[in-house]
Amino acid sequence: MKTLFHALADHVQGLAGPGETIVSGFRGEVSDFIRFNRSRVRQATTVRQAVWTLSLVEGGRRVDASTTLAGDPAADRDALSRLVAQLRDALAGTAPDPYLLLPDSREDSDREEVGSLPEAGAVIESVLAAGRGVDLVGFHAAGPIFEGHASSSGQRNWQRVDNFNFEWCLYHDRDKAVKTGYAGREWSEAAFAARMDFAREQLALLARPARTLEPGRYRAYLTPAALDEVTGLLGWGGFGLKSQRTRQSPLGRLVDGTAALDARVTITENTAEGLAPGFQGEGFVRPARVPLVAGGRHAGALASPRSAREYGVATNGANGGESPESLDLAAGTLPRGDVLAALDRGIYVGNLWYLNYSDRTACRMTGMTRFASFWVEGGRIVAPLNVMRFDDTLYRMLGSELEHLTAERDLLPSSSTYLARSTASSRLPGALLRELTLTL
Amino acid sequence: MLESLKRAFREAAPAVDFCALRFVEETSEQLVVRQDVPEPPRLAVDRGAMVTVIHAGGLGYSATSDLTAAGLREAAGRAKDLAALVAGRAVHDYGRLEMPSPKGRYASPVAKDPDALTRAAKFDLLAAESAQCRVDPRIVDWEAGLWTTRTRSAYLTAAGGEVEQDFTFTVPSLSATAHDKGETQTRTHGGRGNGFCRQGGLEVIDAFGLSGAGRATAEAALELLAAPDCPTGTLDVLLMPDQMVLQIHESIGHPLELDRILGDERNFAGTSFVTPDMFGTYRYGSDLLDVTFDPARAGEYASYAFDDDGSPAAREYLIRGGVLLRPLGGAISQARAGLAGVANARACAWNRAPIDRMANLNIEPGASRFEDMVAAIEDGVLMATNLSWSIDDSRNKFQFGCEWGRRIRGGKLAEVVKNPNYRGISATFWRSLAAVGDAATVQMTGTPFCGKGEPNQVIRVGHASPACLFRGVQVFGGAG
C-alpha cells in the first residue's frame, strides 16, 4: 500500500495546474473480520480496500472528492486524472470559500508499526478451543491500517499500524454476560488465556440470583470501559470549537464558566500517547497534547482548520467533526484493588450502553447499565444487576458527586469499524461516584 | 461495465457449491450552505464487489475493489479459503442452504432527474432558505443541505442468477439553532439527522417543503427558547410521525431482527426481549397495532426488489391486530431459526456481508383523525421530531426525547413546551396504544444511519407512520 500511495501521490502532485493546490488523503486496510456466536463461527470476511480523498483548491475555491482505489497503479492513476479534471469543472460553479485554510509549512512524517498478526485460521482454532463449554459471542478484526497525506506542495505523511482487536462476551443467560477485550500488535496465546480465565471467573458471579434495584440514587463505580461510554458521548459535539462557539456543545456551561467539574478532572487530546495519526486530512500536524479540561475547568477546544479560520484561532489539527481521537482523562489516586472496599455498598458498573443526552444544555445524559454490573455490599460483590437506566448530569457525575478516580488507567482502542477500522483510542481511569441517579 | 464484470466473474468463480458476486457502485454529492456560506461540495465514488462462497458446509466472504478478472479470482480464492476454515465450525451447516438464483431488475421511481438542476442552482436553493433563517440575533447557527446518491448494484450467481438494482436517493435538510441566556434550542425541518430521506429525484425537495422552511424553522427555534419545560408526570402522549419513526425503529424494528434473537449481535448491538416461541401468539401491542415490512412502497427510502442474498422482497405483516407474526430475518437466519421471515439480508456497502436489517418498516394507518386524537386527550403532550434516543440491549427499557412539545389540555392544543422526554418499556408500551391516525396523518421518513453489525454497518432504513396516541406515559422535561 505504501508503494501505491507514493506512486499515486507523485502522479497527483503532477496534475496540479498553475495556481492550483491539490491535497490528497489515503486510507487503506487489509482486514480479517471473524464473527463468533455460541462458540462457533457466524461469518468470516476479508476486506481489501483503499480510498483516495482529494481536494482541489484554486482562487480560494475548493471542491472535495473521494474515490475507491482498485489497487492497480495504472488504473488508479487514470481514475485520479479523471477525478481531478472533474473537480476542475466543478470549481467553476463553486463560490470562494472564506474558511479555507491549508498548511503554510511542510512537515513530513513516516510511522510504521508492523506487527505479528495471527492468521484467521489460528484465531478460529484458539477462540473455539477457549469457548468450549461456554456461550461465547465475539468479533475479531485484524490487519494493517494505512493512512497517508500528500499535497502538491510536496508534503508527505504516512502511517501504518498493524493491529488486532478481539472483543468477546461470555454469556450466562439472556442479557447477563462478561465482556472482555484483547488488542495489540502481537497475539499471545498466554495473554489471551489469562483474559479468558478472568472472564470465566466473572461469569461465575453472574450465576447468582440477580438484583433488581428501585429507581433512586446509589453509590456507583464506573469502570474505565463504562466511563469510555460517557466520554464517547461527550466527544459527540462536546469538545469541538464550532459546537462551542455556536452554543450547541453539551459542555456549554463549562465553557461559559457557569459550571465546573471536580478539580481532579483533566481531559486532554493526547495524540502523543494515542494510536491515531499525528496528522489530519488537510495535512496539519497535530500537537502532542491539546488541553480540553484542566482542573475541572474549560481549557480549550478541538479546532479543525475550517473552524479555526471561521473563528480566528489557530488550528490544532482536529478532524472535520472536531471529535477526539486520543482522549486522555488524568488518573486519580484510588488504587484499583481498593475499589470494592471504597464503594462499600452500591453498584459496580462494568459497562454502560446507548448513552444520549436528555437535556443537552444541562449536559444531562441517560443510558443503560450493561454486561457485568453488580450489586456490592460490605465491599464484596453479592449479586449481578438487572439492567437499569441512569439519567444524570456530567456536572454531578464528574463534579459534585465524584469521590475518586483510580490511580490505574486502561488504554481502550476503539473497536469501531464503520466504513473502516478506527485508530481512535482513549486512556481512562475508573470513577467512584457518591451518587448516580437511576430512573427505570 | 456490467457486461465486463459479468464475464470477469464467470471466469473467476471457483468450482464450489455456491458462488455469488455482489457489485455496488455508489456516487454521491453533498451540498451544504451554513450561515449563508456555501461549503465546498463533497463528491464521492465508492465501488467494489463482495464474493460469497459456500463450500462443504462453510461460508466465506471476500471484498475487493479490484474488479478485474484477476482481482475477482483472488477474492474468490480468499472467500473459498475462509469457507474451508469455517466448515464444520460454524453456527449452521451452510451447505444445507438453498440459496436463491434470482433474475430481475429494480429502479427507484424518479420524477425529476437530480441532474436537471446544476450544482450552482442547487446551491442557490439552499442559500435562499439559509438567508431566511436570519430572523433574529438569537439565531446562532443554521444550515441547509442536499445530499444526493446514485447506487448501481448487481447480484450475480455462478449458477446464472442476475439481478440489477439502481437506486436514487435524495435527502434535503434544514435546521436552525437559537441561543439566549444560557439556553440553546435547535429546530429541524422534516426530521433531525437527515430524517427526511427518500428514493427519488428533485421531487423529494418539493415534498420536503424546502421553500419557506427557513423562516418557519428559525421562528420555531425561537419559540422553543421562550417555552416552559415539558412537565413531569404520567400523561397521555400524541407522537407525531417524525418521532414515531424512532419509536418504531428502536422498539419494534431492532427487537424483531432475527439475528439479534439468534444471538449474533450480543457482543455489540445487543440481544432482544423477543424469543422465537413468541411468534404467532405474543401480544406485542394493542389490537390497533399493524406493522408491515414493505419493500415495495414507492419512494420509501429502503425499497428494493431483492435483498443482498438474492431473495425476492415482498410486503409482509410482522404484527397484525397487535399480535406478533414474523421476525425480520433473511434466508440464512430463517434456516437457522426455522421461522418464516422476510427478504432483509442487507449489506451497507460492497465491503460488508449481509445481515438482518430493517428496510421499510411501517405502521399501517388507522381510523382516527388528528383532531379527534387531540380531542380524546384530557391531559397530555404532543411530541414531534426525535432528538434523543436510548434503549437497553434487549430493546426493552427506553428513553426518548423530542425537539418540540405542545401541551394538550381538555382536548385542545395549548402552549409549546421544550425538552419533552418520555420513557417506557417496549414490552408494555405498545399495549397502551389507544388511537392510530388515519392516512392523512402519515409521513414517510427514515434514517440513513441505522448502525449495527460486526464489522459495523450503517444502513438506510425507511419508516412510514401515522400519528399515534399512547395512554399513561412517564413524561418529563429538562434539568432546568
User: What pTM was estimated for this model as a whole?
Assistant: 0.96
How long a stretch of residues is chain B?
A: 480
* Longest pairwise C-alpha distance within chain B: 72
Closest-CA distance, A333 to chain B, in angstroms, reads 31
**CA angle B78–A137–A40, rounded 5-degree value:** 55
pLDDT class for A87, splitting at 50, 70, 90? very high
- Report the alpha-carbon distance of residue A109 to residue A147 in Å, rounded: 11
CA–CA distances in Å: residue A6 to residues A11, A79, A114, A162, A285: 8, 16, 18, 19, 19
- Indicate if the alpha-carbon torsion angle A429, A239, A271, A27 is positive or negative: positive
Query: Any idea of the CA torsion for A308, A311, A313, A315, to the nearest 10 degrees?
Result: -10
Cell of A32: 480479517
Task: Name the residue among A70, A246, A356 with its Cβ closest to that of B141.
Answer: A246
Angle at CA of residue B152, ends B149 and B156, nearest 5°: 155
A324 inside domain: yes
3-class SS of residue A173: strand
Cross-chain residue pair B85–A44, CB shorter than 8 Å: yes
Task: Classify residue A222: in a domain, yes or no.
Answer: yes
Residue of A nearest to B422 (CA): A358
Cell of residue B342, nine digits: 422476510
Query: Is A320 part of any domain?
Result: yes
Please tell me which of the candidates B123, B353, B392 has its beta carbon nearest to residue A43. B353
Placement of cell 478532524 in the chain: A319
Q: Which of A408, A406, A396 lies closest to A434 in space, CA to CA?
A: A396
Both A284 and A320 in one domain: the answer is yes
Of A206, A234, A253, which closes a domain? A206
Residue A254 backbone phi and psi in degrees, to 5: -65, -45
Q: Which residues of B touch A357 (CB under 8 A)?
A: 388, 401
**What does each C-alpha distance from A259 to A299, A393, B390 come to in angstroms?**
13, 11, 25
Say how many domains are in chain A.
Answer: 2
Interface test with B, best of A1, A8, A40, A46 (most B CBs within 10 A): A46
Contact A120 B85 (CB under 8 A): yes
Which residue shows C-alpha cell 477462540? A127
Cell of B49: 464487489
Contact of A201 with A374, CB cutoff 8 Å: no
* Contact call for residues A438 and A390 (beta carbons, < 8 A): yes
Output the nine-digit C-alpha cell for B54.
459456500
Residue B272: φ, ψ to 5°: -145, 145
Name the domain boundary from A166, A188, A206.
A206
Measured between CA atoms, the residue of chain B closest to residue A181 is B267
Angle, nearest 10°, between helix axes A120-130 and A189-206? 30
Write down which residue in A206, A239, A265 finishes a domain: A206
Residues A267 and A165 in one domain: no
Chain A residues in contact with B42 by the CB 8 A cut-off are 64-66
The answer to whether B121 touches B108, Cβ cutoff 8 Å, is no
Q: For domain B2-226, say whether CATH 3.20.20.80 is its number.
A: no
Considering only CA atoms, give the Rg of chain B: 23
Q: What percent of chain B has pLDDT over 70?
A: 100
Inter-chain touch A90–B118, beta carbons under 8 Å: no
pLDDT at A55: 96
Q: Which of A69, A311, A359 to probe by mutation at the B interface, max B CB count within 10 Å?
A: A359
Task: Dig out the grid coordinates for B276 from the structure.
Answer: 422465537
Residue of chain A nearest B81, judged by CA positions: A121
* CB–CB contact A98 B37 (8 Å): yes
- Specify whether the CB–CB gap between B31 and A93 falls below 8 A: no
CB A351 within 8 A of CB B393: no
Residue B480's pLDDT band (cuts 50, 70, 90): low
Contact B43 A64 (CB under 8 A): yes
Which residues make beta-bridge pairs with B49? B23, B64
Per residue in B427-478, pLDDT (tens digit) is 899 999 999 999 999 999 999 999 999 999 999 999 999 999 999 999 999 9
pLDDT tens, A208-244? 999 999 999 999 999 999 999 999 999 999 999 999 9
Least Cα distance to B436 among B373, B362, B371, B360 occurs for B373
**Residue A75 shares a structural domain with residue A191:** yes
Angle among Cα B36, B40, B43 to the nearest 5 degrees reads 130
CB B105 within 8 A of CB B164: yes
Count Cβ atoms within 10 A of the Cβ of residue B37 and give its class: 0-12 exposed, 13-18 middle, 19 or more buried. Answer: middle
Give me the residue from B63, B91, B425 closest to A47, CB to CB.
B63
Task: Tally C-beta pairs within 8 A across A and B.
Answer: 259
Q: Which residues of chain A neighbour B351 with C-beta distances below 8 Å?
A: 47, 49
Query: What per-residue confidence (pLDDT) applies to B103?
Result: 97
Q: What angle do CA A299, A302, A305 make, to 5 degrees?
A: 135
According to DSSP, the β-strands at A364-370 and B316-320 are unpaired
Mutate to test the interface with B, among A21, A35, A393 (most CBs of B within 10 A): A35
pLDDT tens per residue, range B137-147: 999 999 999 99
Percent of chain A at pLDDT exceeding 70 = 100
- Give yes or no: residues A136 and A284 share one domain: no
Instruction: Give the mean pLDDT of B400-424.
Output: 98
At residue B479 the predicted structure's pLDDT band, cuts being 50, 70 and 90, is confident
Chain A positions in Cβ-Cβ contact with residue B118 (cut-off 8 Å): 93
Please report the DSSP string for A11-36 in residue order: HHHHH--TTEEEEEEEEEEEEEEEEE
The closest of B313, B309, B294 to B106, measured between CA atoms, is B313
Q: Range of A15's domain? A: 2-206
**How does residue A140 score in pLDDT terms, banded at 50, 70 and 90?**
very high
Look at residue B185 in the predicted model and tell me its pLDDT. Answer: 97
Helix segments in B325-425, DSSP class H: 331-337, 370-375
8 Å CB contact of B59 and A43: yes
**Residue A211 covered by a domain:** no
d(CA B48, CA A419): 13
Yes or no, beta carbons of A67 and B183 under 8 Å apart: no
Domain annotation covers residue A252: yes
For A342, the grid coordinates are: 471504597
SS3 at position B231: coil
pLDDT of A93 above 90: no
Q: Give, in degrees to the nearest 5, the angle at Cα A252 between A250 and A255.
A: 130
Residues of chain A positioned with their CB less than 8 A from the CB of B60? 44-45
Mind telling me how many Å the CA of B172 is from chain A's nearest CA?
19
CA distance A21 to chain B (A): 14
* Together in a domain, A192 and A303: no
Q: Model confidence over A300-314: pLDDT tens digits? A: 999 999 999 999 999
Dihedral of the alpha carbons of A317, A323, A326, A329, in degrees to the nearest 10: 120
CB atoms within 10 A of CB A418: 15
- Measured distance CA(B89)–CA(A131) in Å, rounded: 12
Q: Who's near A99: CB < 8 A, 6+ residues apart?
A: A306, A307, A309, A310, B37
- Torsion angle, alpha carbons of B371, B377, B381, B384, to 10: -30
Count of beta carbons in the 10 Å neighbourhood of residue B311:
21
Q: Is the pLDDT of residue B1 over 80?
A: no
Q: Looking at the DSSP assignment, which residues form a beta bridge with residue A159?
A: A111, A147
Same domain? A22 vs A143: yes
Spell out the residues 6+ positions from residue A33 whose beta carbon is closer than 8 angstroms to its own. A43, A44, A45, A46, A47, A139, A140, A141, A417, B454, B455
Q: Which residue has the cell 460553479?
A: A93
Model confidence at B299: pLDDT above 70: yes
CATH 3.30.2290.10 in chain B, residue ranges = 2-226
Q: To which residue does cell 467553476 refer?
A: A92
Residue among A23, A43, A46 at smallest CA distance from A35: A43
Same domain, A147 and A69: yes
E-strand stretches of A101-226: 109-113, 135-151, 156-173, 176-184, 216-222
CA distance B31 to B35: 13
- Residue (of B383, B400, B384, B401) closest to B392 by Cα position: B400
Q: State the distance between the two ends of chain B, measured CA to CA, in whole angstroms.
A: 59
Which chain A residues are within 8 Å of B46, Cβ to Cβ?
A: 51, 66-68
Report yes or no: A326 and A270 within 8 Å, Cβ to Cβ: yes
Tens digits of per-residue pLDDT, A331-365?
999 999 999 999 999 999 999 999 999 999 999 99
User: Which of B97, B390, B428 to mutate to probe the A interface, most A CBs <10 Å?
Assistant: B390
Tell me the sheet residues that pair with B37. Answer: B34
Same domain, yes or no, for A225 and A200?
no
| CA–CA dist B384, B405 (Å, integer) | 6
Bridge pairing between strands A61-68 and A40-58: antiparallel
**Distance (Å) from the C-alpha of residue B476 to the closest C-alpha of chain A?**
10
